[in-house]
Structure formats: C-alpha cells, structure tokens
Structure 1
Amino acid sequence: MTETYLPNCMVEFTRRKLMATSVAATLGASVSSNVTGIESTEPPEDDDTPHAPYVKGGLKRFSSTAFGAEVTGPFVFKDGTPLYSLQHPSRDNPAPYNKSGIGYFSGFQFSMGGSNDDFDELSTPQTNEEQGTIRSADGEYVFLAQEEDRINGGTERLGVVQTPDGWDITRDVFAGTQYGDAAYNPDCNEFVATNDEGTEGYLFTNWENSPGNISRIPISQDADGEWSADLESAINLANTEPLRELGGTRINCYGDLSPWNTMISSEENYAHPRVSLTATVGDIVEQGTGKNLVGASQFWNRPNPNGIQEAIDGYYGDESWAVQGYWALTGLEFLAYYLGAEQIDQTSSPVDQSAEDESNTTEPIGDTYPNPYRYGYHVDVREPTAETPQPVKYYVMGRAAWEAPDVQSDLKTVYGCSDGDSKGIYKFVADEPIPDFCDPMDTAGTLYAPKVTNEEAAKKNPPADVDLEFEWIELGHATNREAEEWIAEYDDITQVDYLETHAETDWQEDLDAAIEEADKEIVENGNQNYITNEEILAWAEQFERDGPDGVDDELRKVPFLETRAAAKEIGATIEFNKAEGVDSVAGAQPGDYVYFAISELNDAMADTLGDVRLDRVDGGVVYRAELEDDYNVSTLEPVIVGPDASDPADVADDALINIDNVYVMDDGRVLCCEDADKFGRSYSNDCLYVYDPETDDDRGHGNDDGDDEDNPGKGDGNSGKGNGNPGKGDDSGKGKANS
C-alpha cells in the first residue's frame, strides 16, 4: 500500500509599444480558441542568433498532438507508460480529437534505460489527417476521460465548476467573460498510487480556467497493461466545501507530485501584475502617474474588469498602453458567482436565460467578490485518498502566475516559475520539513528572488554561450497563517467599493461616468482598496536600510502578497520571459539537476536594460541547474536552445519551440512539451520531445537534433520522477512577446 507521508498529529484546515502579433497568441494556451475577429500575424523579422537551435545531448520527437492543442500535463506511470492532456484542440478536428481530454499511450512503455534508444523518432505531421490526430512514435493514444463527461454519479460534468446552489458555470448558463470554455483546458496530471505496484490510485488533473478546478478520477491498470477510469466515482474538487471555503482557485496550470505523495496544483494568476513589463512602482511615483505603466491587478474589482483595456484605449487614444495581464481578468465575475454572489449584472437568471436575451451589464457586484490576494498560489491537496480531500494554499510561498513548483527531497526547498513577460523564478525554504508541520497553516519559511550577477549575461551574447549565475535575495520570512491573516484584511472588498472609493460621481445616478472617473483615478493614484504604492515603497525603503527583518510589522505582508512588485523594487532580476516549467528527478540529491523552461528568450531578457541582455531567441531555452549541498542552485546552464523565428522549415521542423512543461523521468531523461508558434515549420502542431542529457562538460554546438559528432555523450545519471508545466500565454496585454 502506498501511503501519503504526513506527521502523526491532527491537521486543521479551517504592452502596444512592443507587440504586433495577435491577442489570440497573447492569451495563448487557455483562451486562444475563444478569441474571434483577430488575425494572427507572422513572427517578426529576426536576425540569426549563433547556436540557435542548439542541443547539448539528444532530442527526439515522441508525439505530435492534435491541431490547435498544446501538449500539457505529462506523466509517466511506474511501468513507463506515458500520459498527457489534450488541451483546447481545434473543434474542426475529427472526433474524438475535437474535444479536450486526458489519455495514455497504450502498448508503449519507456524502458528507463537512460537513453532514447527505446523508440524511433516520430516523423513530422504533414497531411490533414496526421495534423488532426494525436500521433506517437510507438503505442496508441487512448482517452481515459474527456471534457464534460458525466461524473460523481451523474451529478456533475468533468471539469465544470458549479455555484453553491448547483448551477454549472458555463457560457450557456451565465453571461460574461470566461477564461476559456469550461472543461476545455485540462493541464497537469499527477497520479497518487494506492498500491505498491502503482496499478491503482487517483489521477488528479488541473483545469486551467477561472473559476479553476482540480478533478480526481479513480483509475486502474489491468493485467494486460491497459488503464481505465471510474468516472462514476470521479469528483471536481472545486465543487467540494473545503476548496470552496478557500475561495476556490484560478487558472490551475501545472504542478508537482510532492515527496509526501500529494498533488500540488499551481494557480497561474496572470492578472497579478500591478506594473506593466519592466516598470516598477517607483517609476509610477517618480512620474507622478501610472499612465503607460499600470498593470491589470489595479482594476481587479472594476465592474467588467477585463474591459479595462478597451476603456484605456478610449480614454487615452494614441497615448494608450497595454495593461499587462488585463485579459486574465476574464472569469472574475464567474468566480464571484462561484462564491455565491448575487448575479445582479445578469439580464436574466439561470432559469430563464437564453442565447437571445442574455447579457452582462456593468451593474457592480456588491455582496460577494473574490479577494485578489487569495489567488496565485501553490495548492497542496492533502488527504488525497479521503472521500473529500483537504486542500491548503501555501500563501507563504509568494503570489505569482505560478506555472509549477518543484519540491526538493529535503522537503524544505521549493523552486517556482512565474509565467508571462518580465516575471521571476523564486525559491522558498521552509524552517523544517513541510510535512512535519502538524497544521499546514503553521508552515514557516523564507521567500527569495533571484539576482543575476555575471557580466556575460548583460552582453549581446548567444544564450547557448552563457550560463546565468545568480544569488538569492531574501524577501521575507513568515508563517502560512500570518500570510492568510494579512490576506483576510481584504476579504470584503467589492465592485461597489471600486466606484465609491475612486469616483466622486454617484454610480447609482451615472454608472458610466463613475466607472470612467474611477478608472482614471486608479491610473493616476493606484487602487486604494488594496496594498498601495506608498506601502510598497515604504517596505522597499526599510528593506534596503534595515534588511528583511527590519521592516515594520504592518509592512511584512508586502513581499508575500505583492511578490513581483516587491522583488522588482529592490532590484531582483524579474526579467524572465515565460518561465514555463521547473522539475527535477524524484529524490534528487546534491549533484542532480533542476530543469527550468523559458518559453521565449526575448523582451526583458534581450533588451538593453537590466541584468540579462542576451541575443534574442524566440524559440526559448531549457536551462539546468545543479543542486548544491544545501539544495541551493546558483547557475543556470543552457542545454536546449530553440530556433529563431526567421529560421526555415529545414531548421525549425526538428527543433524544440516554446518549451512549456518539463518532466524528468526516472532515468534522467526529460519530457519537453511544446506550446509553440508555427515559426518557419512545415506544420502547426505542438509536439512532445524526449531530451537525453549528456554528461561531459564540453559545450560544442550541435545541430538541431542534438547529434553533434563532437558531443556524442548521452545520459546524465539522474534518476527519478518529475513534473513540468503548461500555459503559454504572455500576459503583456497586446500580443505575444515578439517585437
């Protein structure tokens, strides 16, 4: 029997200037298929970057997914059988590949022999038939479950979140914006085995929507090696009281299988930026206005919050700017309904609503509204095999657009990647092993942000030639309970407060005028309902003068609730563009590697400012970092570099483009998932590649398939499991980060 490791104690759970590509590409993974009336543009002109593409080791294509879909949620069972999610496929694909789902590769198991000799590389998909299905080098993709399958005794639909009174939160029931169609975005998969053979257990799956969701499906393997799902007994955790009491989740992206055998689901809250791109709060104060600088989070409680970009364009005309993350404000009002808000902004009720008469007004929600500081965390699904699992959010690990965490085998060190433009890679170190805290709310530790220190990173060098060396800046220390208490201070703020705090006009007399007045006031002086610009600057001033332990008690909340803004203010390297995945082998020890996936190396990593100014590579980079004796990492070594956007098909077809999830298998090989633009490829499908690391220290520059005759070494001796991450979706607001 495989058991979860928990202590023997009671547990209480009580941008316009830069971007010209489509908004669809901006929204990326979760919502691209739902954006209409916008044409995609070709990738920008891009000079050739030396050693792009480049692979240190070997890289082989194992699978191509159906048109329109990403490869997300990779997992490998104990016997070597791979699985992944079909996320947001084109509805024009032939059935069953026109619906999202979760499936495994029947008839194939990775041999765990530490090399890619266990399969012949899959050809590129060329015909319409090949592009419309899921293909693999070996085995057949078999669905275990698909979107909206009936589950839980027929009372629910897989992946669909409900209101407290049982209404499905879908577009055909409620009017308004939704972060991707309900149940269209399955992502991370983690299997919690309930027997030693690993043939029975629960499959936990993230649903990257807002409201967010995690499903739990009992699955089992028969004597012939085939897997089946018990959908009758499957549940949506979002519809259980423990998760609802936490406020639910948003945009559940990737995650991790913890060393204590629980799923950790990460909330990719793209709407958290309070300043756009490389700006800081200090820039706003120095300028005397947030014009051209302010980001999405400042408009969180605005009526129809995702309408802020259109409003800003109307107010400022040619002087408008991209409000970073505005599009991820979609689904907030649906989240309010999930929490039980009265649907006063609906022209009809769920009972009598029809496609002809439904609409969403700007009438402000005044009774129940989500607290922004309750979203953007790692969610640990404790008691995973119980009738009702007990989730806990690790507020103390910081708030971000988390793609994934990677928990180290010391049970204390956690690395996390925040997805989007100008974001961070963070580290949290607990005071003691995390499962040793009897109550997860007592989890205590220190949050860190990186500072890239080597001069070579600030020169226009090819990314393949530069290791990024960095130090960790301590942001603060707290307990999970303290962080939750700070968050609770903002629980009762609503859309009515947005208007009454920031507009002199009575919204009940002239709603449109009040909204415009409030919007402009927030641009000028910030949203006074939440942590203010002045508080962030006061924290930074005290931090720089007295260190993280010398700040006033009332300001200790700043780096935990406004993690990105705080880190930027004190000079941390918040420049990573689309940090999409992090993983290491299960049981990794000092000397093993942690892999970091950077989907696009451009914008803040390839400009003339900041700590990182490398040559641009729109195809992205996979780095690895060697674990030191204390499970720290201090150097990112590039091992895979994608192509330039201008590279032709004979180069781009076999190169890894826009890396998303990474998953380290037991033998040290790495599954690399794509969330790719077409670039110069002859096909448009995303693929799953298997990276075979080499062990020697020579860094010759191989061709795009990694088979450089000067670098024949393969295998790096790592052993164990891993996970990765999805969610391509730059959050700059006006287009994908190609400029």
Structure 2
Amino acid sequence: MKKSKVLVPLLSAAILFPTAVNVHANPNKPVEVKSVQFAGMQAPDTDAKRSSMYSEASAIVTLKDGSQKIVPLEYKALTRPGEIINGKIVGAAHDINGNIIKDKNGNPYVSTSPDGNSLLSVNGESGKLYMINHFESMPSNEIGNMPKALYLNTVVQDKKTGELKITDINPIDFSADGGVWTPCAGVLSPWNTHLGSEEYEPDARAFEANPEKSSVTQFARNYYQNANVIGNPYLYGHTTEVKVHPNGEAEAVKHYSMGRLSFENVTVAPDNRTVYFGDDGSYTMSFMYIADKANDLTAGTLYAAKWNQTSDQNGGSANIEWIKLGHASDKEIKNLAESVKFSDIFETTTDTSYAKANGFTQIKTNSNGGKDSEWLKVKPGMEKAAAFLESRRYGAILGATSEFNKMETLTFNKADNKIYMAMSYVEKGMTKNPTDPADDVQLPKLSAGTVYEMSLAKGQKDREGKSINSDYVVTKMSGLLTGEDLAVKDADGNKANPDKIANPDNLAYSEKYRTLFIAEDSNMHTNNFGWAYNVDTKELSRIISAPDGGEVTGLQAIDELNGKSYLMVGSQNPGNIGYIDLTLLSTKK
C-alpha cells in the first residue's frame, strides 16, 4: 500500500537550455554551442519523487572548440493558480464583462488545468515579453458548464541568467465570439501570434434536440450571467488566434473558415499558409487548411484526409489522399454560425431502407461522440455550412477517414520537411471494425499509443485530380515511436513499459537542437513523463516526471529569445487534486 502523499501544486514549467555563457569556463569569452543532447533520468522510485514535478536529467553540451560540459537540469516554481499577481487571481473564471465568477459563498472558480503556452517577444529583443496560456477546464458551478479562460501574462527576463518572472496577468476577451470553449494546446505562429484551440466541440444535433438542458446553454448562462439565454453550439470548436500589440493589449479572434472540430492544436508549414490540425477524441479526422494569403488565416481552403493503409507494423503506415471540403472566409462562416442550426444543414433518418433508397450516407464520427453511426444527407445549398460548421460529418460523407483515436498535437520539422503527430491511443476506430460504416484503418490495438511521422511533397492533386495550391502537402504517414503495452502491471503500477513513451499528447520540435519533445497524458504510466527524442541519433531520454496522476502538458520549444533557448513544459491535475504551478526548469550554476 502506498503512503499518503503531500502533493505540491504545480502548473507549468520552462527548461532554460544551456548557452555558451553559462557552460563555458570564461563567460566573458563564451564559445558557441555546437550541439546539445540529453542524458535521461530514471523513473521515480520513492514516494517523494512520485509526488513531485522534477528533473534529474542533464544536458550534454558540445562546444565549437570540441569541449563538452554536462549541465544538470533544475526545477523552479514561479506561481500557482489561486495566487495573486498584481491584485489578480491566477486561473480565475471571468464573465463577459470581465468580472470574476464566484460561487454562492463568494469564492472564485479557479481552474486546475492550464494547458497550452506561448511565450513571445513583442518588437524583438528590445520589446516586452508576454506569455499566453490556456486554462482547459473550470470547476462547474451550480448550473453546470463554465466558461474557460486564456490569460495574457506579462513576463520579465533576467538577461544574464535567463530566469523568467510573471509580473501581471489579464484574462483575454472573447466576448465577440461568446467566450472560449475548452482551450487545449497552443502554438506560437511564424508571424508571432498565439494560435490556440477549442477542443471537444459540442454536438449541434444533440443541442437542437434539447437546448434548455444542453451544456452549451449552461456555458452561455454562466458566461453572460443570464439565466434565460440559450447557447449556440456553432460558436465553439474553432482555432483561436491572439495578437499582442506593442502596448500590451491582446486582440483575440476565432477562425471560422478553418472548420469546426475538436481542435487539439494546429501547426504551420514554412509557407505560412498551409496548416495541419489535431482532432481529438474517438472517430476523428485529419485536416489540412491552405490560407489564401501568408500570415493570414481569415480565408482559405479546407481539406480532409483519407488513410490508404500500406502496413500495420510499428504503428501502421499509409498513403494520404486529400478530399476538398470547400473554400470560405471567416466572415461568411461566422454569419452562418449565427444563423443556422443542425436541421437546416442535414436531413436525418433512422430508417436504413429509406436511407439507402434516398441518397443518405451512413457515417460514424466523433461529432456525436463516436458512439453510434448516423444516416445523413446534406440539404441542397448547404454544402458550405456543412463543410465548415460540421467539418467531420461532411468529410465522412465525402469519404474522408473518420477513424483516428485520440489524435493530439502536431509539430513541424522544417529542415527535414516532416510533421510529427501524436496518437495517444491506437484503439477503437483504428483497429479492424468490419461492422463500422468505413474501415480504412486496421491496426493492432496499442493502448500506449504512437508518434507518427508525416512526409510532405509539392505538386500534389486532390482526389478529384485538381492541383493543391501548396508545396507542403502530406503524402505519407507512418509510425516513428511506439509505446509498449504490458500484459501485467509492473511493481510500480505501470501498464506500459516505463522506458518507452505512453500516450503521447503534447509535442514540440526544436530545429536548433534537432530534438522532438514529447509529453504524456497517460493512464498507463503511474507517473507521466516528458521525453527528448533526438531525430538524428534516435535516442529517447526521459527528462522530467510529473506528480502521480498529473498530465505533462504545455510544451513550447523556443530556440531563440534574447539569446536564450527555452522549453515550456507543465503539468495539470497532479494527484487528481488539480493544482498547477508555473515553474522554471533551468541549468544549475
């Protein structure tokens, strides 16, 4: 029997990578760093370690003069939800007017689940630093589902040591779009904005059947502080973008033209136009969006992927075919979102004979939780609404693969023209299911999951033979790293090999260090880990461990920020009590 644990509340972290100044004997004459690799740490073996967020890993730094330094990594806390910074509560829920939402006893609702981070500089090296972070969930109040939050944090950096400190926090305003719904992972765009996500989009069909009791209406009533308002599911399930202006003001929008699904995160190709998505849940879909203009996601063309399997080994492999769903702008889809309902877009039936005789298509998708198949037909003239407000349902009708399971984040390796994708659990729709409406993916069950590598090419055509206007089109997908399920739990309670990944979730790639960082959200490892995988040496190193039950999350690899390199990494809900910190993991002096 395990001893009871005292769990220190933890939120998010940052590894300060070693630089020439802090590893060289003479910091006044530093030698350039040639490469950095990681020496991993053992899995936690004491109750104290199992209850902590910590690192015993090291960075092996090779300098241009041939010398090497081994630099231990250290963990430091910055702040915790519920604490006060500049008179403001970290992680508190706010209503449409910016007021803190409180319970009947006057206590604020404070999130236990921060997730995505984007640390950025406004106006380059001379500018101020800010960090945008997500709070994925909130405790429910008396009437249920609560509005979620993004915060803009003002950050100061010690230019010598690289240490960071938050000096101010402010909630980001999404009142133009009805608040923000389940923000999950995020990424810093190539044009220095924060691209976020709204995960687990609400089912508009279920909402329409009973809007009064819907979680969407609960959300709206809490957000608007109005017991009579009825919510709108089509306002939620979009990519968000936040621009930080030089005066420190944050401007937030939702990109309706990028489709509506369970966004885990997006990743942007070097053309600053081609974007790929992670669609989280069971029976989900892979999407590609090609913007009309670089650095501008307000209009573009949406595609969905079809998996044409070539192997079931090592997580599986496939050739990828793209199906065009449509072209749209944010403005026209937002107008549709505010004016149509599910029954305006689709005809439905439960009569199989009638469906087959009258042009209906049977699909199974996460749009209704992936529980049951649906017979649907798009009403005349509603193709655009279907493509951008019911992207997964419409994609499945057109033949795109809707069998992926727990598809999480994606990240680019620009030098090698690769994308990495985390599939947390290779289960359910990804196994052989001959009774499903479609069965494109037929892989052995692997509950510990897989990280996939996706290859890109130019000059590609879609399923209809029309040219795709991008030089960064995914053509192949294959397993890169897999976990290993254990037949029987080990002595520490692990259901997957603790020396391999299990249930990969957040990914981030460092071009400078040629390293893929992998964060776990696993019920198969007793403690979740963060890993560093060198794409050249193929070496996998455990570099951080989260408290028992805590998800590792919030990854962001920053190769250069005022002469420093960082990896943001955190934990949410450790020990199932849900307190989180903002921390700094830095090299020891």
Q: TM (normalized to structure 1)?
A: 0.58
Q: 1:430 aligns to what SS in structure 2?
A: strand
1:372 to 233, 254, 269: 233
8 Å CA contact 2:187–2:267 kept in 1: the answer is yes
Name the CA distance, whole Å, in 2 between partners of 1:157 and 1:258: 28
8 Å CA contact 2:94–2:223 kept in 1: the answer is yes
Q: 1:559 aligns to what SS in structure 2?
A: helix
8 Å CA contact 2:280–2:406 kept in 1: the answer is yes
8 Å CA contact 2:516–2:532 kept in 1: the answer is yes
1:215 to 151, 157, 180: 151
8 Å CA contact 2:117–2:568 kept in 1: the answer is no
8 Å CA contact 1:670–1:690 kept in 2: the answer is yes
1:578 to 376, 389, 406: 406
Name the CA distance, whole Å, in 2 between partners of 1:725 and 1:398: 28
2:73 to 136, 139, 155: 139
Distance 1:392 1:677, change over 3 A: same
| Alpha-carbon distance, 1:726 to partner | 10
| 1:654 alignment partner in structure 2 | 499
| 2:336 alignment partner in structure 1 | 486
Distance 1:214 1:412, change over 3 A: same
| 1:664 alignment partner in structure 2 | 509
**What code does the residue aligned with 2:530 have?**
L
| 1:616 alignment partner in structure 2 | 445
1:126-205 correspondence runs (5 A): 126-136=45-55, 137=57, 138-151=72-85, 153-154=86-87, 156-164=88-96, 167-171=99-103, 182-194=110-122, 196-197=124-125, 200-205=128-133
Q: 2:118 aligns to what SS in structure 1?
A: strand
Distance 1:574 1:727, change over 3 A: farther
Quick check: 660-669 or 376-385, which moved more?
376-385
8 Å CA contact 1:601–1:621 kept in 2: the answer is yes
Name the CA distance, whole Å, in 2 between partners of 1:445 and 1:265: 18
8 Å CA contact 1:660–1:727 kept in 2: the answer is no
1:458-477 correspondence runs (5 A): 461-464=312-315, 466-477=316-327
2:418 to 589, 593, 596: 593
| 1:336 alignment partner in structure 2 | 221
Distance 1:103 1:335, change over 3 A: farther
| Alpha-carbon distance, 1:463 to partner | 3.6
Q: 1:557 aligns to what SS in structure 2?
A: helix
| 2:455 alignment partner in structure 1 | 626
Q: Is 1:446 aligned to 2:315, yes or no?
A: no
Size of the alignment, in residue pairs?
Answer: 478
| 1:676 alignment partner in structure 2 | 522
| Alpha-carbon distance, 1:593 to partner | 1.0
Name the CA distance, whole Å, in 2 between partners of 1:254 and 1:444: 22
Distance 1:580 1:174, change over 3 A: farther
Distance 1:618 1:672, change over 3 A: same
Q: Which one has more relative contact order, counting CA pairs under 8 Å at least 6 apart? A: 1
Q: 1:431 aligns to what SS in structure 2?
A: strand
**What code does the residue aligned with 2:196 have?**
S
2:347 to 519, 529, 533: 533
Q: Is 1:206 aligned to 2:116, yes or no?
A: no
Name the CA distance, whole Å, in 1 between partners of 2:36 and 2:450: 21
| Alpha-carbon distance, 1:222 to partner | 1.1
**What code does the residue aligned with 1:418 have?**
D
| Alpha-carbon distance, 1:396 to partner | 0.6
1:59-78 correspondence runs (5 A): none
8 Å CA contact 1:422–1:577 kept in 2: the answer is yes
Cα deviation, 1:476-511, whole Å, max 9, x if unaligned, reads 111111101101105xx9xxxxxxxxxxxxxxxxxx
| Alignment gaps of 5+ in structure 2 | 24-31, 58-71, 138-145, 350-354, 362-377, 459-470, 543-556, 561-565, 574-589
| 1:245 alignment partner in structure 2 | 176
Q: Is 1:234 aligned to 2:169, yes or no?
A: yes
What percentage of aligned pairs have identical amino acids? Answer: 25
Name the CA distance, whole Å, in 1 between partners of 2:390 and 2:198: 15
2:476 to 635, 656, 662: 635
Name the CA distance, whole Å, in 2 between partners of 1:704 and 1:668: 14
1:273-422 correspondence runs (5 A): 297=207, 301-303=211-213, 305=214, 329=215, 333-342=218-227, 366=228, 368-422=229-283
Name the CA distance, whole Å, in 2 between partners of 1:603 and 1:372: 26
2:389 to 548, 551, 561: 561
8 Å CA contact 2:82–2:92 kept in 1: the answer is yes
Name the CA distance, whole Å, in 2 between partners of 1:691 and 1:649: 24
| Alpha-carbon distance, 1:371 to partner | 1.1
Name the CA distance, whole Å, in 1 between partners of 2:445 and 2:541: 17
**What code does the residue aligned with 2:288 have?**
K
**What code does the residue aligned with 1:646 have?**
A
| Alpha-carbon distance, 1:104 to partner | 2.6
**What code does the residue aligned with 2:275 have?**
V
Distance 1:431 1:199, change over 3 A: closer
8 Å CA contact 1:595–1:624 kept in 2: the answer is yes
Distance 1:557 1:379, change over 3 A: same
Distance 1:185 1:172, change over 3 A: farther
Distance 1:170 1:568, change over 3 A: farther
Name the CA distance, whole Å, in 2 between partners of 1:109 and 1:300: 58
Distance 1:482 1:166, change over 3 A: closer
Q: 1:690 aligns to what SS in structure 2?
A: strand
Q: Is 1:125 aligned to 2:44, yes or no?
A: yes
8 Å CA contact 1:446–1:477 kept in 2: the answer is yes
8 Å CA contact 2:345–2:379 kept in 1: the answer is no
Name the CA distance, whole Å, in 2 between partners of 1:200 and 1:639: 38
**What code does the residue aligned with 1:102 have?**
S
Q: 1:558 aligns to what SS in structure 2?
A: helix
Q: 1:633 aligns to what SS in structure 2?
A: strand
| Alpha-carbon distance, 1:145 to partner | 2.4
8 Å CA contact 1:662–1:724 kept in 2: the answer is no
Name the CA distance, whole Å, in 1 between partners of 2:505 and 2:82: 25
Q: TM (normalized to structure 2)?
A: 0.72
Cα deviation, 1:184-216, whole Å, max 9, x if unaligned, reads 111011111135449951011011024121111
| Alpha-carbon distance, 1:554 to partner | 3.9
8 Å CA contact 2:13–2:569 kept in 1: the answer is no
8 Å CA contact 1:403–1:727 kept in 2: the answer is no
Q: 1:564 aligns to what SS in structure 2?
A: helix
| 1:14 alignment partner in structure 2 | none
- Between Structure 1 and Structure 2, which shows a larger proportion of strand residues? 2
Name the CA distance, whole Å, in 2 between partners of 1:685 and 1:583: 24
Q: Is 1:102 aligned to 2:8, yes or no?
A: no
Name the CA distance, whole Å, in 2 between partners of 1:606 and 1:160: 41
Cα deviation, 1:442-499, whole Å, max 9, x if unaligned, reads x221111111123x35xxx3344x3221101001111111101101105xx9xxxxxx
| Alpha-carbon distance, 1:162 to partner | 1.8
| 2:291 alignment partner in structure 1 | 430
